[in-house]
Chains A and B, each alone.
Chain A
Amino acid sequence: MRLTRFLSKNWLLTYAALYVAFLYAPVILLPLFAFNESTIIAFPLTGFTTKWFTVLFESTALHQAVKNSLIIGVVTAVLSTILGTCAARAMVRFGFPFKRGIVSFIMLPLVLPEIIVAVALLVLLMQLGFPLSIWTVIGGHVLICVPFSVAILSSAFQGLDKNLEEASLDLGETGWGTFRRVIFPLILPGVISSLLITFTISLDEFIIAFFLTGTDVTLPVYIWSQLRFPAKLPSVMALGTILLVLSVLLLVLGEWFRRRSAKQQGLDPASGGGFMQ
């Protein structure tokens, strides 16, 4: 009786609590089983161990996958942020023929099913006789990351006072110098946000990587291949734990940096250009 009364009075709170539990419970299971001694993923827990982490460190195939993923992630982040910066600037600052159509085309991969992009790219590369390598994965990842970069950076460009650029030109600076000395420092928080987001997207992207990767597997593809062996499951959990900690660190770092630079410019840290608002 008391429970029903509590639920009817605090239904919103109950809903929120259940929602959060549903969202994060699986994530909490990850580190829980990563330190569990048994190879079987089931309760009750059998004892504390770090041996699954040791297994990870001794696996050369994993090291290669991590290396591939890092290279792909970094190159994808840099390339898509450069392309995104150019596109966002053109979008915000200039008017040109077929602007809406061109912008829609750039943003399209955001809503296109990844499996379709992946298959289409694979067919295309096969037809062209292009060998699959980490570079084909990078190509695919840049395609899906650019829209995110454009979205983040166009909000950074929108916050930029047009008069600042004019003031710089008026003071004798060239167009490129203006970008280097005024525009870039002011959109830097957005650039860093874009780098982090696109890196993270590339790092955990599976479908495109699976189709285009050839023999150089990425980390998600490696994890997927390991899931076929039940004995390897705990070490996958350990790997998941490490990735979880790293992602959180990365996000916190990015947000800290953004807030710091927003504060330096006397802006409200809660506004504009960030992805954790």
Chain B
Amino acid sequence: MTQNPIIDIKNVHKSFGKVEALKGVNLRIEEGEFFSLLGPSGCGKTTLLRMIAGFEEPTSGAVIIGGEPMMGIPANKRPTNMVFQSYAIFPHLSVSDNVGYGLAKKKMSRSEIAEEVNNALAMVDLVGYGDRSAHELSGGQRQRVALARALVMKPRVVLLDEPLSALDKKLREQMQIELRELQQSVGITFILVTHDQEEALIMSDRIAVLFEGEIAQVATPQTLYQQPVNERVASFIGVMNFLQAQATESADGGLGLEIPALGDVAIAKAARPEDLPAASIDRIGVRPEMLTILFDESDHAECESEGVVVGASYYGDMTYYSVQLPETEELTTVSMRNTAGRSIVASGTKVRIGWGADSIVLFS
């Protein structure tokens, strides 16, 4: 981590009356990062974003942007610009006037403004739409106008409040990629608020997961998915199976795991989280794609166990099987890629499940 993050949030608390929205949040966001605030609704992520924008003041703690404390500095004096969830396109102005709205306050000639507006429209692929009025645009186009309106100000940080939630699935997926590419080409710090874990994984450099006003984990998408710090984060990001387990210390500093549903396995010292005593482990996690159904007699894995298929959900590219493993009441989800010539396993079929030490997620 560098010495001077673009945004430094220090022990921020925020209360609305008796409701505590943020309970001591610390966060450092680096220049040029695509950073996501992820959490269920009501976790305080939007409050935190609005605090950075200047629409809310912290009850205590400090928000520092570019090294300057923002206490008492209103939204119109901050080097941040926001893309609102409702887009907040001014309905009485044309697309060009919307995009150029903030430039009117800067000392620029009319032709300079027109040029900047055109550049911004080109950036979001809306060349030739300048004269349209806001209500003639589709949802995706409004979203682009809102983005152009923020980018044209050349802010140090762009704040996005669930900008894609109103779009349909196909358009949303396309915009996720476009937004990511745009961020990389302009190099401005983006902070995205979202409740969609998939969206956060696709777009972000780093993600902060918030629950009830507290940060549970800050990590890259990969780390977050592979090494969630606790069961709550693990179940919020993707699908996670939880299984009973017992652990013993082994001689080499690793762990010996006894998982009644799967079998025994040894965890090497390197794969074991620091400060995790064996006695504190009672449950482990396994991602569905880390378990494999061994279809052929000749298929083998590092560890093998047996289960019975109870149901299957067909997703086209993937099939998610519900498998009854021994010594556990809950069903375990196993996902398999649908390769050529492989048919879906019928319910009631006894299958061999392949897994390994790498499949296991330990929670500290």
Q: Is the CB of B88 within 8 A of A164?
A: yes
Contact B102 A161 (CB under 8 A): no
CA distance A171 to B82 in the complex (A): 8
Q: Which among A161, A170, A177 has the greatest number of chain B C-beta atoms within 10 A?
A: A170
* Size category of the binding interface on chain A: 20 to 34
| Docked-complex contact A167 and B84, CB < 8 angstroms | yes
Across the interface, name the chain A residue whose C-beta is closest to B149: A171
**A residues less than 8 Å from B136 (CB atoms):** 266
User: In the complex the two chains form, is A166's CB within 8 Å of B84's CB?
Assistant: yes
Per-residue 0/1 for B122-157: is the Cβ within 8 Å of any A Cβ (1 yes, 0 no)? 000000000001111000000000000100010000
Q: CB within 8 Å of B: which of A166-186?
A: 166-174, 177, 181-182, 185-186
Q: Which of A161, A168, A174, A185 is the one whose CB lies under 8 Å from B101? A: A168
Looking at the assembled complex, report how far the CB atom of A175 sits from the nearest CB atom of chain B, in whole angstroms: 8
Q: A166-B75, A167-B82, A264-B133 are in contact. Are A173 and B91 (CB under 8 A)?
A: no
Whether a CB of chain B sits under 8 angstroms from the CB of A265 is yes
Question: Closest approach, in angstroms, between the C-beta of A171 and any C-beta of chain B?
Answer: 3
Q: Which B residues lie within 8 Å of A166 (CB)?
A: 53, 55, 75, 82, 84, 88
Interface size class of B (residues with CB under 8 A): 20 to 34
Give the contacts of B67-121 with A (CB-CB under 8 A). Answer: 74-77, 80-82, 84-86, 88, 90-92, 101-102, 105-106
Question: Across the interface, do B92 and A161 meet the contact criterion of CB distance under 8 Å?
Answer: no
Please name all residues of chain B whose beta carbon is closer than 8 Å to the beta carbon of A161 when the two chains form the complex.
Answer: 86, 88
Q: Given that A171-B153, A266-B134 are contacting pairs, would A182 and B76 also be in contact in the complex, using a CB cutoff of 8 Å?
A: no
In the bound complex, CA of A266 to CA of B133 (Å): 9
What is the minimal beta-carbon distance from B357 to any residue of chain A, in angstroms?
50
Which residue on chain A has the smallest CB distance to residue B92? A185
The one of A163, A169, A181, A185 in contact with B75, judged by C-beta atoms closer than 8 angstroms, is A169
CB neighbours of A168 from chain B (8 A): 90, 101
Interface residues of A in 223-270 (CB under 8 A from B): 264-267
B86 touches A170 (CB 8 A): no
B88 to chain A, nearest CB (A): 4
Taking a contact as CB atoms under 8 Å apart, the answer to whether A266 and B135 are in contact is yes
Q: B106 to chain A: closest CB distance in Å? A: 8
Q: How far is the CB of B77 from chain A (nearest CB, A)?
A: 8
Could you list 17 further interchain pairs (A-B, Cβ under 8 angstroms) beyond the known A171-B101, A172-B106?
A161-B86, A163-B84, A163-B88, A164-B88, A166-B84, A166-B88, A167-B88, A168-B90, A170-B53, A170-B54, A170-B76, A170-B82, A172-B102, A185-B92, A265-B92, A266-B136, A267-B91
Chain A residues engaging chain B, CB cutoff 8 angstroms: 161, 163-164, 166-174, 177, 181-182, 185-186, 264-267
What are 18 contact pairs spanning A and B, CB under 8 A?
A161-B88, A167-B149, A168-B101, A169-B54, A169-B74, A169-B76, A170-B54, A170-B55, A170-B80, A171-B102, A171-B153, A172-B76, A185-B92, A186-B91, A186-B92, A265-B135, A266-B135, A266-B136
